[in-house]
Structure 1
């Protein structure tokens, strides 16, 4: 009996598992159907948009070409009219002169015939003869030969149609994919790192153009133009979706390529912020920029919270500089300790503005270049467990730290008695004028 009950329970459990597996299978299939619909929608929408763009372009092109042909036709006809009028006028003047001479000759002939018909009246004959001599009947106007006057002709190169035809036949292209696509969106504190790549082997990019917008906004806005293939977009609100797209400009060309397929991204990490209200430092509205002001107070400005997580990259960008001091510091620490004038202390690692690197207050042998305006200093920290019972606290951990500045870096291990997966950051400047952005 028990065996039958156990078998029934087993069959029931298997049936339930099969039902759950079928539900999961159906759910996965429906998600794939939704993905297919989205893919089909992208093809249909992009095809419709491409048709509209092509039709509009060729409509504009036909109108522009027809206008140019009409303008050229009018120009050539005006040239014909001008040459005709310019060279016909002298012939008209000559014709008037000849016609006047013909009329004068006819009048003279009639007078002469009358004078002769009047008999031998010497007075009339003498008057006619004098008049005939005065008219200079042996003087004839010059009439240009046909080779001396213009003979208009039109030279129209029939090869123009061939040239235009050849250009039209290769004008415009239809691509199934844009030449560049967004490859990765990586969340950062208060920002998103956007990486893109070229997907057309025949396309030679010169510059890239990155745009973004909130998913609720109507228009994209430029955020980067340059030759790099990644860019950190800052001032991103946490838990808010943003759309990103990128295009490229081919080598030696002026026009931009089609946009990549927009990608949706967001960050769950709150932005890095400096602590407010500390005398000696003025902060920006987003509290990610600190300026050492003229106040005589000298101390460490810490982050509002331990927002730096191991495995990320923390970057300080020096926007302006003041007079350097050996106590200046930029770095990370396990905890806030008020009363110190610098991060050159226990449970902290930092770099001074002269390039010296400090671990728990001790200066390392290796140094980095001095910090200058426009410099970026980065900290990359990775947690590594050393093993149990290494010290009296029952264990030890080390953080492998990489500090980079001006294309140089130092790597060292920072040993702690407890694992710290998130750290504070801080800075201290003795003299005013230093301005630093953290991201």
Structure 2
């Protein structure tokens, strides 16, 4: 009995030790998270201080430069007015000074002529008198009065300081957190679905801006600018970490808000690719875009491999359209069949450009909107059940399929006679100019 009790106590002790170890790990994990939070506050505060100092230094330099430039313009205007109006006065001064000099000379000559000194005679007096008559001593130049000449002054509006004070006192704000944050990162084949949300109810959003980059590599690049709150970033390499951030622009404003806290994401799903080498279709460098060219083709263009798994969303975006044909189709299938010219066949579900939905080659009653340039078609599948069939033909594998296009969707159960982990996707177009992007 004692041995059993000891064994029980040992088991309980080990369980307590394991619980303590788990508790310790969880506390250490939370301590690490707390340290990261503290670091975020400290680093963002330091960066904000530097941003504020640099901004106001730039503002100070800019205002100083503008004031100096305006002062220089006004001083130039003063100099121009001064020079323009001083010149006539200078000319008048020269005339007056010349007249004074002439009068002084005449006075000296007259004094000599009337002095009665030896050597003066009648002829001298006559010459002096004639000279005085020719000088026109009764003609005086006009001298402008003080009210007729400029009196420069500066008109300065002190209200500028009041306006500047009002503007400066409300210039700039400090926010404890950005008005928008990334909410969810979902891996997609060759891409990542980024969802974000507004966390400041008082912030009226005009546009969102999403950027991404490889982790700690290079600069952020714009991925999306618009009104939506989610976007699929394509051309993401599998098993590589990427950073994402988002900001917003307020209604009626030009500047963007502060960036959200960067979030890390990656995808382990290989990108969807069209199969190369089929005459009649030209592929992009990443093989995710197929263009129906002018070459004849009587076969379906399939995916390179079966990369569509249940639980995922497969999306086709029709970039351009051509002349439609009743055999045209876009969809998924269990296996490749190079002998068919359409996806409207057994073991396949598809949609035609007209919006008709085909399941195992049979057209459904429900339809989707016709395809047009820019149309997006999505396939969502989920395994529903695995059980015996009613006619003893073996087990049937059922999938709940949702095909969406525009604002409408069609939901149905697709029965397969064999298990299938992943599906191929494909498209077929009889006429050229159709271009389809898959992701």
TM band (smaller chain): over 0.9
Deviating more after overlay: 97-106 vs 3-12: 97-106
Measured at CA, do residues 177 and 140 of structure 1 come closer, stay the same or move farther in structure 2, by a change above 3 Å? Answer: same
TM-score normalised by the chain length of structure 2: 0.92
Displacement of 1:230: 0.9
Q: Secondary structure at the match of 1:379?
A: strand
Distance 2:46 2:111 in 1: 94
Match of 2:62 in 1: 64
Is 2:371 aligned against 1:358? no
1:128-179, Cα deviation, whole Å (9 max, x unpaired): 2222222222111112111111111122222222222222222222111122
Shift of 1:420: 4.7
Match of 2:23 among 10, 22, 25: 25
**What corresponds to 1:435 in structure 2?**
435
- How far, CA to CA, are the matches of 1:131 and 1:254 in structure 2? 83
Q: Which moved more, 1:101-110 or 1:389-398?
A: 389-398
Flag the 1:124–1:278 CA change in 2: closer, same or farther, 3 A: closer
Tell me, yes or no, if structure 1 residue 103 matches structure 2 residue 78.
no
Secondary structure of 1:422's aligned partner: coil
Q: Residue 75 of structure 1 aligns with which residue?
A: 73
Match of 1:139 in 2: 139
The equivalent of 2:219 in structure 1 is 219
Quote the residue 1:412 is aligned against. Answer: 412
CA apart distance, 1:188: 0.8
In the TM superposition, residue 26 of structure 1 has moved relative to its aligned partner by 0.5
Instruction: Tell me: CA distance 1:385–1:148, structure 2 relative to 1, closer, same or farther (3 Å).
Output: same
* Residue 109 to residue 291, structure 1, CA distance change in 2 (3 Å): closer
Decide which moves more: 69-78 or 27-36. 69-78
Shift of residue 396 of structure 1?
A: 4.1
CA contact (8 A) 1:390 1:396 kept: no
1:200-244 superposed Cα distances (whole Å, 9 cap, x missing partner): 222222222211111152222122222221111112122211111
Distance 2:126 2:283 in 1: 122
Whether contact under 8 Å (1:383, 1:421) holds in the other structure is: no
Aligned residues: 437
- Give 1:279 shift: 4.5
**Structure 1 stretches of at least 4 aligned residues deviating more than 6 Å after TM superposition:** none
Structure 2: unaligned runs, 5 residues or longer: none
Q: Which residue of 2 aligns with 1:90?
A: 88
Q: CA deviation at 1:338?
A: 4.2
TM-score normalized by structure 1?
0.92
* Residue 376 of structure 1: how far off its partner (Å): 2.1
What is aligned with 2:13? 15
How far apart, in 2, do the equivalents of 1:261 and 1:350 lie?
41
Across the aligned residues of Structure 1 and Structure 2, the Cα RMSD in angstroms comes to 2.3
In structure 2, do the counterparts of structure 1 residues 275 and 74 end up closer, same or farther at CA, with 3 Å as the change threshold? closer
| Aligned mates of 1:132, 1:320 — CA distance in 2 | 104
Q: Tell me how far apart the structure 2 counterparts of residues 57 and 396 of structure 1 sit (CA, whole Å).
A: 68
Equivalent-residue separation in structure 2 for 1:434 and 1:134 (angstroms): 105
For structure 1, list consecutive stretches of 5 or more residues without a partner in the other structure. Answer: none
CA contact (8 A) 1:383 1:419 kept: no
SS, match of residue 255 in structure 1: coil
Deviations 1:180-217 (A, max 9, x none): 11111011111100111122222222222211111152
Q: Tell me the CA shift for residue 16 of structure 1.
A: 0.5
* Structure-2 residue corresponding to 1:164: 164
Between the aligned partners of 1:348 and 1:31, the Cα distance in structure 2 is: 48
Matches of 1:391 and 1:39 in 2, distance apart?
Answer: 62
Structure 2 vs 1, CA of residues 294 and 89 (structure 1 numbering), >3 Å: closer, same or farther?
A: closer
